[in-house]
Amino acid sequence: MKIALIQQHCTKDKRKNLERALKAAQKAALEGAKIIAFAELAFEPFYPQHPNPADRLALAEAIPGPTTERFIQLAKELGVVFVLNLYERDGDKAFDTSPVIDADGTLLGTTRMLHITDYEGFYEQDYYDPGDHDAPVYQTEFGKIGVAICYDRHYPEYMRRLALQGAEIVFVPQAGAIGEWPEGLYQAELRVAAFQNGYFTALCNRVGKEDVLEFAGESFVCDPFGQVIAQAAKGRDEILYCDIDLDRIKESPAKKWFFRDRRAELYGEWF
């Protein structure tokens, strides 16, 4: 099965960003991709670069809403699964949210980022409420999908939670800037998560220079043995394709040994 990660730059024109993304999705589907994922806030500027927004809710949109409806229609037309990431408004709250749309156009649900950070260039506590949807795993036509939105990937307990619920692929919509962390750490972290939990990890990063930050790109995919099996370029728009074999999961060390030898009675209610 082929998956596609669409890393693209964003301008302040959300409409044009969205149209570019829809065209890229159509191209990916024509190339045979069955699951297509996007980066964090993929169709709009990365708002948390700036602290103290005048009206954060005015920047967000409902789910379902105009953006998800466009992708619901496209999923029906193309027969593909979409993993999106939007700035969601829900009443008087706002979330960093990933809707997951099945190949028949069904909106299966939403993952909301649970852990909210705050430091220079990433003033996310000014924008996002902490997520309240746990760590869902979605049964799609092409496999069981989990989502770890950007900062959530730093929490091993969250990554394990997805494995315990049967995730076969964990998609990571990210806004990772150049120089944010030591070289190679993004990959190291998700290689270990894939190895320890026995699933594929697929990180889709933003790319391009914005007001404060320059996003790195370099999206990548890891297999359940902890190896990087595909990587996109640094600093430019790209669709990263990767062929994955879900049957390899059962042969991974995690599925053969690590989960067999767990002592769940020691770990608490999530585990």
Task: Indicate the average pLDDT of the chain.
Answer: 97
Residues 233, 47: Cα–Cα separation, whole Å: 24
pLDDT the model gives residue 268:
82
| For range 218-241, the mean pLDDT | 98
User: How do strand 220-222 and strand 228-231 relate by DSSP bridges?
Assistant: antiparallel
pLDDT the model gives residue 180:
87
The two three-digit tokens of residue 88, written as one number: 């969601």
| For range 101-117, the mean pLDDT | 98
Task: Note the CATH number of domain 2-266.
Answer: 3.60.110.10
pLDDT tops 80 at residue 269: no
Measured in whole angstroms, how far is the alpha carbon of residue 51 from the centre of its chain?
24
Of 200, 258, 198, 257, which is closest to residue 228 (Cα–Cα)? Answer: 200
pLDDT tops 90 at residue 270: no
Percent of the chain with pLDDT over 90: 95
Between the CA atoms of 102, 201, 125 and 114, what dihedral angle is there, to the nearest 10 degrees?
Answer: 70
The two three-digit tokens of residue 269, written as one number: 């209610």
What are the pLDDT digits (tens) for 45-77? 999 999 999 999 999 999 999 999 999 999 999
| For range 239-265, the mean pLDDT | 97
Q: Note if the bond before 182 is cis, omega within 30 degrees.
A: no
pTM of the model: 0.97
Residues 29, 106: Cα–Cα separation, whole Å: 17
Identify how many contiguous H helices and E strands the chain contains and give both numbers. Answer: 6, 15
pLDDT tops 90 at residue 206: yes
What are the pLDDT digits (tens) for 125-144? 999 999 999 999 999 999 99
Residue 146: beta bridge partners?
Answer: 137, 170
pLDDT the model gives residue 229:
98
- Sign of the Cα pseudo-torsion (49, 120, 217, 209, in order): positive
pLDDT the model gives residue 175:
97
pLDDT the model gives residue 14:
96
The two three-digit tokens of residue 3, written as one number: 């998956």
Domain residue limits, the chain = 2-266
Is residue 183 very low, low, confident or very high in pLDDT (cuts 50, 70, 90)? confident
pLDDT tops 80 at residue 271: no
Measured in whole angstroms, how far is the alpha carbon of residue 154 from the centre of its chain?
13
| For range 24-51, the mean pLDDT | 98
Of 173, 162, 107, 174, which is closest to residue 135 (Cα–Cα)? Answer: 162
| For range 37-51, the mean pLDDT | 97
| For range 168-175, the mean pLDDT | 98
